[in-house]
Amino acid sequence: MKNYRIARKAAVLTLVMVLLAAMVLTACKAKTETPVVTEAPTEEPTEAPTEVPTKAPTPAPTAAPTEKPTKAPPASGTNVALKADVEVSSTTGLTHVQWGWDVGYINDGRYYDVDPDDPSVGWTTAVGVNTDDPEQEEWVLFTLEQDTSINKIIVYPVGYPNATGGNFCPESFKIEVSADGKEYTTIAEVVDNTRAADKDSTPFTFEFDAVTCRYVRLLATKLYRVPSPADGYLCQLAEIEIYAA
């Protein structure tokens, strides 16, 4: 009986050992199994992109440069004020046109035209506005058609050629020229003339070395006080002529 028990224990022990051995083998096998190699996905060869031949860009046709037609310069001795644009510091209302006063009469080619149907006396600054300041600046500005070489300017007091009373031209004024309308150069100056007080309508004639400009300005710096106090200090002129050199 004792031998039987020993034999059974030995059998159980053997079985246990066999089982353990089996487990160890299984574990080892699992360890040594070659890991499944997953193939790296084979990238499908992408075809080299076929370049679409690009056409050489057709150059945009460049328009032939349009050169500004240059105007022929005015002939020497031409009064270029006649075709110039005119601006003034002040003027009267349209009611005064019937008496021959308007901005446009400063360069209309007429002096003192008393034609009752179409009078042309000249340009006057605003009447009855400046009653106390003889040094208030007033001006008339000519913009010539093009850059022009000029060498003579004539300023006509109202009443030329026959004085007909007060002409009210300014006592002091400058003639200025400019190429750009910003920087002006004085080319002539009259100080304290007595034409107005003397009722003398003799024109002021300025001759100078030729200068090329686009703008010509008469700047009155001292005004004459007209006899009628209510009218105040005025600048009145019949005509201004600007001559091409």
What end-to-end distance do the CA atoms of the chain give, in Å?
A: 157
Among 88, 108, 134, 149, binds Ca ion (CB under 5 A): 108
Instruction: Tell me the closest approach of the beta carbon of residue 126 to Ca ion, in angstroms.
Output: 19
Q: Is the alpha carbon torsion for 135, 139, 114, 207 positive or negative?
A: positive
- Beta bridge partners of residue 153, listed in sequence order: 206, 242
Q: Is 102 in the site for Ca ion (CB under 5 A)?
A: no
> Whose Cβ is closer to Ca ion: residue 184's or residue 196's?
196
Tokens of 49: 């992109």
The answer, yes or no, to whether the previous bond of 116 is cis (omega within 30 of 0) is: no
> Whose Cβ is closer to Ca ion: residue 73's or residue 119's?
119
Cα distance between residue 1 and residue 127, in whole Å: 158
Among 79, 80, 84, 105, binds Ca ion (CB under 5 A): 105
Per-residue interface string for the shown chain with Ca ion, residues 62-101, x marking contact by CB under 5 A:
----------------------------------------
> Whose Cβ is closer to Ca ion: residue 105's or residue 215's?
105
Among 138, 171, 176, 239, binds Ca ion (CB under 5 A): 239
With contact defined as beta carbons under 8 Å apart, do 157 and 123 qualify? no
Cα distance between residue 132 and residue 109, in whole Å: 33
Binding residues among 6-65 for Ca ion as defined by CB under 5 A: none
Q: What is the dihedral of CA 111, 112, 118, 123, to 10 degrees?
A: 70
With contact defined as beta carbons under 8 Å apart, do 168 and 129 qualify? no
Stretch that binds Ca ion, among 14-22, 34-42, 69-77, 110-118 (CB under 5 A): 110-118
> Whose Cβ is closer to Ca ion: residue 79's or residue 130's?
79
Q: Is 110 in the site for Ca ion (CB under 5 A)?
A: yes
> Whose Cβ is closer to Ca ion: residue 171's or residue 239's?
239
Q: Which residues bind Ca ion (CB under 5 A)?
A: 105, 108, 110, 239
